[in-house]
Copies of this chain bind each other. A is one copy, B any other.
Amino acid sequence: MIAPTPSELEILNILWKSGEATTQIVNDQLNLTRPVGYTTTLKTMQLMTEKGLLDRRKEGKSHVYFALSDESKTKSHLLDKIIQTTFGGSTSGLLMQLFGNKAVSQDEIVQIRAFLDGMEDKNHG
């Protein structure tokens, strides 16, 4: 599994959401959050393509990029890593931290409840 760097993850998040996009579009999206030069984004996406994180197809004079790495697998892997390094491998340690010290909105609690309901149904059925 190839772990993306922070910058690469930003780009992956954009491509996972939009399915595919040109460098221009990705760069515009990035610049909604922070300033970054066009060629910087281009270079990063080229490196990601070499690494096998992305692939691309030619369209007119530009390239259209799309993610090869699986969203769920990648995020799961990143999560495992922080559980390992920050919480000594303990998933419940992470949960305690999350619930014990962080404000979680009512909406999110509702969402989490619904999710747990679904899981329990699965377990019982």
Contact = CB atoms under 8 A, between A and B. Distances in A.
Interface of A: 6, 9-10, 13, 72-73, 75-76, 78-80, 82, 85-88, 90-92, 94-102, 104, 106, 108-109, 111-113, 115-116, 119-120, 123
Contacts of A104: 91, 119
A91 B104 CA distance: 8
Q: Report whether over half of chain A's contact residues are helix, strand or loop; otherwise say mixed.
A: helix
Number of copies: 2
Contact of A82 (B82, B88, B92, B99): B82
A75 B92 contact: no
Contacts of A90: 108
Nearest to A124: B106
